[in-house]
Structure 1
Amino acid sequence: MRRLLRSLALLAPLVLAACGEDAGPAKPAAVEMTDEALGYYCQMYLADHPGPKAQVIVRGQDQPLWFTQVSDAVAYLKGAERVGDTAAVYVSDMAAAASWAEPGRGNWIDADGAVFVIESRRPGGMGTPEAIPFGSRGAADRFVAENGGRAVALAEIPVAYVRPGDAGVPAHGDMSAMN
Protein backbone atom coordinates (compact mmCIF):
# COMPACT_ATOMS: atom_id res chain seq x y z
CA MET A 1 0.00 0.00 0.00
CA ARG A 2 2.86 2.37 0.84
CA ARG A 3 4.43 1.70 -2.53
CA LEU A 4 1.19 2.56 -4.29
CA LEU A 5 0.81 5.83 -2.38
CA ARG A 6 4.44 6.73 -3.04
CA SER A 7 4.02 6.01 -6.77
CA LEU A 8 0.88 8.12 -6.91
CA ALA A 9 2.64 10.94 -5.09
CA LEU A 10 5.44 10.86 -7.66
CA LEU A 11 3.01 10.83 -10.60
CA ALA A 12 0.77 13.64 -9.35
CA PRO A 13 3.09 16.54 -10.37
CA LEU A 14 3.49 15.06 -13.86
CA VAL A 15 -0.25 14.73 -14.33
CA LEU A 16 -0.86 18.27 -13.08
CA ALA A 17 1.88 19.67 -15.34
CA ALA A 18 0.31 17.99 -18.36
CA CYS A 19 -3.03 19.65 -17.56
CA GLY A 20 -1.46 23.08 -17.91
CA GLU A 21 0.00 22.45 -21.35
CA ASP A 22 -1.46 24.19 -24.38
CA ALA A 23 -3.96 22.00 -26.26
CA GLY A 24 -2.68 23.00 -29.69
CA PRO A 25 -0.49 25.30 -31.74
CA ALA A 26 -0.71 29.02 -31.09
CA LYS A 27 -3.02 31.09 -33.28
CA PRO A 28 -0.99 32.99 -35.91
CA ALA A 29 -1.17 36.77 -35.97
CA ALA A 30 -3.10 38.68 -38.62
CA VAL A 31 -1.19 39.77 -41.72
CA GLU A 32 -1.25 43.42 -42.74
CA MET A 33 -3.02 43.90 -46.07
CA THR A 34 -0.86 45.18 -48.94
CA ASP A 35 -1.73 46.65 -52.33
CA GLU A 36 -0.98 43.22 -53.85
CA ALA A 37 -3.61 41.34 -51.81
CA LEU A 38 -6.05 39.60 -54.18
CA GLY A 39 -9.52 38.32 -53.34
CA TYR A 40 -9.68 34.52 -53.14
CA TYR A 41 -12.81 34.23 -55.29
CA CYS A 42 -12.67 37.28 -57.57
CA GLN A 43 -8.87 37.69 -57.96
CA MET A 44 -9.36 41.47 -57.73
CA TYR A 45 -7.25 43.81 -55.60
CA LEU A 46 -8.79 44.24 -52.15
CA ALA A 47 -7.58 47.83 -51.88
CA ASP A 48 -9.69 48.76 -54.93
CA HIS A 49 -12.96 48.00 -53.12
CA PRO A 50 -14.59 49.75 -50.16
CA GLY A 51 -15.91 48.06 -47.05
CA PRO A 52 -14.59 45.45 -44.64
CA LYS A 53 -12.20 42.69 -45.65
CA ALA A 54 -11.29 39.27 -44.27
CA GLN A 55 -8.32 36.95 -44.18
CA VAL A 56 -8.32 33.23 -43.50
CA ILE A 57 -5.01 31.77 -42.41
CA VAL A 58 -4.58 28.13 -43.41
CA ARG A 59 -1.92 26.07 -41.62
CA GLY A 60 1.06 25.39 -43.85
CA GLN A 61 0.41 28.27 -46.27
CA ASP A 62 2.72 31.29 -46.42
CA GLN A 63 0.00 33.86 -47.09
CA PRO A 64 -3.60 34.14 -45.93
CA LEU A 65 -6.55 33.70 -48.23
CA TRP A 66 -7.84 37.26 -48.73
CA PHE A 67 -11.51 38.12 -49.19
CA THR A 68 -12.85 41.32 -50.75
CA GLN A 69 -15.97 41.02 -48.61
CA VAL A 70 -16.35 39.47 -45.18
CA SER A 71 -19.46 37.61 -46.38
CA ASP A 72 -17.25 35.83 -48.94
CA ALA A 73 -14.98 34.58 -46.14
CA VAL A 74 -18.00 33.38 -44.16
CA ALA A 75 -19.30 31.58 -47.27
CA TYR A 76 -15.87 29.98 -47.67
CA LEU A 77 -15.80 28.86 -44.02
CA LYS A 78 -19.30 27.37 -44.27
CA GLY A 79 -18.77 25.84 -47.71
CA ALA A 80 -17.49 22.58 -49.12
CA GLU A 81 -14.62 24.24 -51.04
CA ARG A 82 -12.76 24.94 -47.81
CA VAL A 83 -9.19 23.62 -47.99
CA GLY A 84 -6.69 22.70 -45.29
CA ASP A 85 -6.80 23.39 -41.58
CA THR A 86 -8.00 26.91 -40.73
CA ALA A 87 -5.61 28.35 -38.16
CA ALA A 88 -7.24 31.79 -37.77
CA VAL A 89 -9.80 34.13 -39.30
CA TYR A 90 -9.47 37.90 -39.05
CA VAL A 91 -11.84 40.65 -40.19
CA SER A 92 -11.62 44.45 -40.45
CA ASP A 93 -12.85 46.22 -37.32
CA MET A 94 -15.10 48.81 -38.93
CA ALA A 95 -15.29 50.75 -35.66
CA ALA A 96 -11.56 51.43 -36.12
CA ALA A 97 -11.84 52.17 -39.87
CA ALA A 98 -11.19 55.68 -41.15
CA SER A 99 -14.26 55.36 -43.39
CA TRP A 100 -16.20 52.84 -45.46
CA ALA A 101 -13.94 53.66 -48.42
CA GLU A 102 -10.81 53.17 -46.26
CA PRO A 103 -11.52 50.18 -44.00
CA GLY A 104 -7.87 49.98 -42.89
CA ARG A 105 -4.96 47.65 -43.53
CA GLY A 106 -3.99 46.65 -40.02
CA ASN A 107 -7.13 46.95 -37.86
CA TRP A 108 -7.79 43.20 -37.80
CA ILE A 109 -9.83 41.48 -35.12
CA ASP A 110 -10.42 37.79 -34.49
CA ALA A 111 -13.64 36.81 -36.28
CA ASP A 112 -14.68 34.58 -33.38
CA GLY A 113 -14.86 37.60 -31.05
CA ALA A 114 -16.35 40.07 -33.54
CA VAL A 115 -19.95 41.25 -33.69
CA PHE A 116 -21.34 41.23 -37.25
CA VAL A 117 -24.16 43.35 -38.64
CA ILE A 118 -26.15 41.57 -41.33
CA GLU A 119 -29.20 42.65 -43.34
CA SER A 120 -28.22 46.34 -43.25
CA ARG A 121 -28.71 48.87 -46.04
CA ARG A 122 -24.93 48.94 -46.62
CA PRO A 123 -23.72 46.62 -49.42
CA GLY A 124 -20.22 45.16 -49.35
CA GLY A 125 -17.29 46.09 -51.55
CA MET A 126 -18.56 43.88 -54.37
CA GLY A 127 -22.11 45.27 -54.20
CA THR A 128 -23.71 42.26 -52.49
CA PRO A 129 -25.01 41.80 -48.92
CA GLU A 130 -22.26 42.12 -46.33
CA ALA A 131 -21.55 40.84 -42.83
CA ILE A 132 -20.04 43.98 -41.30
CA PRO A 133 -17.66 43.28 -38.39
CA PHE A 134 -17.17 45.35 -35.26
CA GLY A 135 -14.92 44.87 -32.25
CA SER A 136 -17.70 45.67 -29.79
CA ARG A 137 -21.44 45.22 -29.42
CA GLY A 138 -21.85 48.96 -28.80
CA ALA A 139 -20.24 49.88 -32.13
CA ALA A 140 -22.40 47.31 -33.93
CA ASP A 141 -25.55 48.65 -32.26
CA ARG A 142 -24.70 52.23 -33.31
CA PHE A 143 -24.25 51.04 -36.91
CA VAL A 144 -27.61 49.22 -36.77
CA ALA A 145 -29.31 52.39 -35.50
CA GLU A 146 -28.04 54.31 -38.56
CA ASN A 147 -28.11 51.61 -41.26
CA GLY A 148 -30.58 48.96 -40.15
CA GLY A 149 -29.84 45.28 -39.84
CA ARG A 150 -29.16 43.12 -36.84
CA ALA A 151 -26.08 42.20 -34.81
CA VAL A 152 -25.00 38.54 -34.63
CA ALA A 153 -21.99 36.37 -33.83
CA LEU A 154 -20.01 34.64 -36.58
CA ALA A 155 -21.70 31.29 -35.94
CA GLU A 156 -25.15 32.93 -36.24
CA ILE A 157 -24.66 34.25 -39.79
CA PRO A 158 -27.04 32.17 -41.94
CA VAL A 159 -25.58 30.25 -44.87
CA ALA A 160 -28.39 31.66 -47.06
CA TYR A 161 -27.19 35.19 -46.26
CA VAL A 162 -23.63 34.58 -47.48
CA ARG A 163 -24.62 32.30 -50.36
CA PRO A 164 -27.48 34.36 -51.82
CA GLY A 165 -27.33 33.04 -55.40
CA ASP A 166 -30.31 30.80 -54.79
CA ALA A 167 -32.31 33.63 -53.26
CA GLY A 168 -32.34 35.90 -56.31
CA VAL A 169 -29.55 38.21 -55.16
CA PRO A 170 -26.94 38.78 -57.89
CA ALA A 171 -23.70 36.88 -57.51
CA HIS A 172 -20.34 38.57 -58.20
CA GLY A 173 -20.44 37.52 -61.84
CA ASP A 174 -23.87 39.08 -62.46
CA MET A 175 -23.64 42.72 -61.42
CA SER A 176 -26.06 43.80 -64.20
CA ALA A 177 -28.97 43.50 -61.78
CA MET A 178 -27.40 46.27 -59.66
CA ASN A 179 -28.17 48.98 -62.26
Structure 2
Amino acid sequence: MLLATPLLAACSHETPPSAKAALEPKRDTACSLDGMSLADYPGPKGQLQYAQGAPDFFCDTIELFAVYLKPEQQRLVAAVYVQDMSKANWEHPVGNWIDARNAFYVVGSRLKGSMGPTFASYGSEAAARAVAAREGGKVYRFNDITPAMAELDGGVLKDKSM
Protein backbone atom coordinates (compact mmCIF):
# COMPACT_ATOMS: atom_id res chain seq x y z
CA MET A 1 0.00 0.00 0.00
CA LEU A 2 2.89 2.38 0.66
CA LEU A 3 4.09 1.98 -2.93
CA ALA A 4 0.79 3.29 -4.31
CA THR A 5 1.15 6.68 -2.61
CA PRO A 6 4.04 7.98 -4.79
CA LEU A 7 2.25 6.80 -7.92
CA LEU A 8 -0.90 8.68 -7.01
CA ALA A 9 1.10 11.80 -6.19
CA ALA A 10 2.77 11.67 -9.62
CA CYS A 11 -0.60 12.07 -11.32
CA SER A 12 -1.78 14.83 -9.03
CA HIS A 13 -2.30 18.49 -9.78
CA GLU A 14 -2.25 19.27 -6.08
CA THR A 15 0.17 21.92 -4.89
CA PRO A 16 2.72 20.59 -2.42
CA PRO A 17 3.15 22.56 0.81
CA SER A 18 6.24 24.42 -0.45
CA ALA A 19 4.95 25.90 -3.71
CA LYS A 20 7.55 27.59 -5.87
CA ALA A 21 7.47 31.32 -6.52
CA ALA A 22 6.68 32.69 -9.97
CA LEU A 23 9.65 33.33 -12.22
CA GLU A 24 9.98 36.18 -14.68
CA PRO A 25 10.78 34.77 -18.12
CA LYS A 26 13.82 36.16 -19.90
CA ARG A 27 13.48 38.18 -23.10
CA ASP A 28 14.32 35.07 -25.16
CA THR A 29 12.16 32.56 -23.24
CA ALA A 30 10.24 30.34 -25.63
CA CYS A 31 6.84 28.78 -25.09
CA SER A 32 7.18 25.19 -23.90
CA LEU A 33 4.35 24.06 -26.17
CA ASP A 34 5.07 25.70 -29.52
CA GLY A 35 8.46 27.43 -29.26
CA MET A 36 7.05 30.92 -29.84
CA SER A 37 8.82 33.74 -28.00
CA LEU A 38 6.77 34.92 -25.02
CA ALA A 39 7.98 38.51 -25.47
CA ASP A 40 6.74 38.74 -29.06
CA TYR A 41 3.02 38.37 -28.39
CA PRO A 42 0.27 40.24 -26.53
CA GLY A 43 -1.94 38.97 -23.76
CA PRO A 44 -1.48 37.00 -20.57
CA LYS A 45 1.23 34.38 -20.23
CA GLY A 46 1.31 31.34 -17.98
CA GLN A 47 3.78 29.13 -16.20
CA LEU A 48 3.74 25.72 -14.58
CA GLN A 49 6.22 25.20 -11.76
CA TYR A 50 6.90 21.54 -11.08
CA ALA A 51 7.97 19.87 -7.85
CA GLN A 52 11.10 18.80 -9.71
CA GLY A 53 12.73 20.10 -12.86
CA ALA A 54 12.50 23.22 -14.95
CA PRO A 55 9.25 25.17 -15.29
CA ASP A 56 7.16 25.35 -18.44
CA PHE A 57 6.29 28.79 -19.79
CA PHE A 58 3.37 29.46 -22.13
CA CYS A 59 2.82 32.38 -24.51
CA ASP A 60 -0.93 32.17 -23.90
CA THR A 61 -3.13 31.13 -20.99
CA ILE A 62 -5.16 28.83 -23.23
CA GLU A 63 -1.97 26.81 -23.83
CA LEU A 64 -1.32 26.60 -20.11
CA PHE A 65 -4.79 25.16 -19.55
CA ALA A 66 -4.47 22.81 -22.55
CA VAL A 67 -1.35 21.26 -21.01
CA TYR A 68 -2.43 21.40 -17.36
CA LEU A 69 -5.81 19.77 -18.00
CA LYS A 70 -4.47 16.91 -20.15
CA PRO A 71 -5.09 13.56 -18.50
CA GLU A 72 -1.58 12.52 -19.48
CA GLN A 73 -0.06 15.36 -17.40
CA GLN A 74 2.04 13.22 -15.08
CA ARG A 75 4.42 15.69 -13.42
CA LEU A 76 3.62 16.93 -9.93
CA VAL A 77 2.67 20.60 -10.31
CA ALA A 78 4.00 22.78 -7.50
CA ALA A 79 2.42 26.03 -8.70
CA VAL A 80 0.47 27.53 -11.60
CA TYR A 81 0.82 31.21 -12.45
CA VAL A 82 -0.82 33.65 -14.85
CA GLN A 83 -0.51 37.40 -15.21
CA ASP A 84 -2.99 39.80 -13.65
CA MET A 85 -3.96 41.77 -16.73
CA SER A 86 -5.60 44.51 -14.68
CA LYS A 87 -2.02 45.47 -13.72
CA ALA A 88 -0.08 44.44 -16.83
CA ASN A 89 0.22 46.04 -20.25
CA TRP A 90 -1.83 43.89 -22.66
CA GLU A 91 0.55 44.36 -25.60
CA HIS A 92 3.75 43.65 -23.62
CA PRO A 93 2.90 42.08 -20.26
CA VAL A 94 5.73 41.79 -17.74
CA GLY A 95 5.48 40.61 -14.14
CA ASN A 96 2.26 40.78 -12.16
CA TRP A 97 2.17 37.00 -11.66
CA ILE A 98 -0.68 35.62 -9.58
CA ASP A 99 -1.73 32.15 -8.49
CA ALA A 100 -3.74 30.84 -11.43
CA ARG A 101 -5.99 28.85 -9.12
CA ASN A 102 -7.23 32.05 -7.48
CA ALA A 103 -7.59 34.07 -10.69
CA PHE A 104 -10.72 34.99 -12.63
CA TYR A 105 -10.78 34.38 -16.39
CA VAL A 106 -12.71 36.12 -19.14
CA VAL A 107 -13.40 33.51 -21.82
CA GLY A 108 -14.94 34.33 -25.19
CA SER A 109 -14.04 38.02 -25.29
CA ARG A 110 -12.75 40.07 -28.21
CA LEU A 111 -9.29 40.21 -26.58
CA LYS A 112 -6.54 38.37 -28.45
CA GLY A 113 -3.42 36.62 -27.22
CA SER A 114 -0.72 34.79 -29.15
CA MET A 115 -3.13 32.01 -30.14
CA GLY A 116 -6.03 34.29 -31.08
CA PRO A 117 -8.90 34.30 -28.56
CA THR A 118 -7.49 33.85 -25.07
CA PHE A 119 -8.46 33.37 -21.46
CA ALA A 120 -7.84 36.85 -20.07
CA SER A 121 -6.67 36.48 -16.46
CA TYR A 122 -7.42 38.85 -13.58
CA GLY A 123 -6.68 38.96 -9.88
CA SER A 124 -10.13 40.15 -8.92
CA GLU A 125 -13.65 39.26 -9.92
CA ALA A 126 -14.53 42.95 -10.27
CA ALA A 127 -11.74 43.49 -12.82
CA ALA A 128 -12.77 40.39 -14.79
CA ARG A 129 -16.44 41.42 -14.81
CA ALA A 130 -15.55 44.94 -15.99
CA VAL A 131 -13.55 43.50 -18.90
CA ALA A 132 -16.33 41.04 -19.77
CA ALA A 133 -18.84 43.92 -19.85
CA ARG A 134 -16.56 45.95 -22.12
CA GLU A 135 -15.05 43.20 -24.35
CA GLY A 136 -17.67 40.46 -24.18
CA GLY A 137 -17.19 36.98 -22.79
CA LYS A 138 -18.02 35.20 -19.58
CA VAL A 139 -16.15 35.09 -16.26
CA TYR A 140 -14.88 31.71 -15.05
CA ARG A 141 -12.89 30.46 -12.09
CA PHE A 142 -9.90 28.15 -12.56
CA ASN A 143 -11.79 24.96 -11.68
CA ASP A 144 -14.64 25.84 -14.07
CA ILE A 145 -12.42 25.73 -17.16
CA THR A 146 -12.71 22.37 -18.91
CA PRO A 147 -10.38 20.55 -21.32
CA ALA A 148 -12.91 21.14 -24.13
CA MET A 149 -12.68 24.91 -23.55
CA ALA A 150 -8.87 24.77 -23.86
CA GLU A 151 -8.58 22.77 -27.06
CA LEU A 152 -5.85 24.07 -29.30
CA ASP A 153 -7.41 23.92 -32.74
CA GLY A 154 -5.39 26.81 -34.08
CA GLY A 155 -5.63 30.50 -33.23
CA VAL A 156 -5.81 31.40 -36.91
CA LEU A 157 -8.89 29.22 -37.35
CA LYS A 158 -10.64 30.94 -34.46
CA ASP A 159 -9.47 34.47 -35.26
CA LYS A 160 -11.67 35.76 -38.07
CA SER A 161 -9.64 39.00 -38.37
CA MET A 162 -6.57 37.15 -39.70
Tell me the TM-score range normalised by the shorter chain: 0.7 to 0.9
Equivalence for 1:16: none
Distance 1:172 1:117, change over 3 A: closer
TM-score normalised to the size of structure 1?
0.75
Residues 136-145 or 79-88, more deviating: 79-88
Cα RMSD, aligned residues only:
2.2
Equivalence map 1:26-41=2 (5 Å): 26-41=18-33
In structure 2, give the amino acid aligned to 1:119: G
Contact 1:93 1:107 in 2 (8 A): yes
Question: What letter is aligned with 1:120?
Answer: S
Instruction: Please say if residues 71 and 131 of structure 1, whose CA atoms lie closer than 8 Å, have aligned partners that are also in contact.
Output: yes
User: What is the aligned partner in structure 2 of residue 103 from structure 1?
Assistant: 93
- Structure with greater Cα Rg: 1
Counterpart of 2:41 in structure 1 is 49
CA shift at 1:123, angstroms? 2.2
Q: Distance in 2 between matches of 1:92 and 1:40?
A: 17
Aligned-partner SS, 1:142: helix
Change (3 A) 1:139 1:175: closer
Aligned length: 148
Change (3 A) 1:46 1:115: same
| Counterpart check, 1:112 vs 2:101 | yes
Letter in 1 for 2:105: F
Sort the Cα spacing of 1:149 and 1:48 in 2 relative to 1 into closer, same or farther, 3 A: same
1:91 counterpart letter in structure 2: V
Deviating runs (4+, > 6 A) in structure 1?
Answer: 173-177
2:136 to 140, 148, 173: 148
Q: Give the corresponding residue for 2:84.
A: 93
Scaled by the length of structure 2, the TM-score of the pair is 0.83
Q: Provide the rounded CA distance (Å) in 1 between the counterparts of 2:139 and 2:157.
A: 28
Q: Which has the higher strand share?
A: 2
Change (3 A) 1:139 1:172: closer
**Could you tell me how far 1:121 is from its partner in structure 2?**
1.2
Tell me how far apart the structure 2 counterparts of residues 95 and 66 of structure 1 sit (CA, whole Å): 20
Q: Is the 8 A contact 2:42 2:112 kept in 1?
A: no
Kindly indicate whether the alpha-carbon contact (under 8 Å) linking 2:48 and 2:55 is maintained by their aligned counterparts in 1: yes
Shift of 1:174: 6.5
Where does structure 1 lack aligned partners over 5 or more consecutive residues? 1-22, 166-170
Task: Report the Cα offset of residue 177 of structure 1.
Answer: 7.1
2:111 aligned with 1:122, yes or no? yes
If each structure's helix is expressed as a fraction of its own residues, which one has the higher value?
1
Structure 2 partner of 1:158: 146
Aligned-pair CA distance for 1:83: 3.7
Return the structure number with greater relative CO, CA threshold 8 A, min gap 6: 2
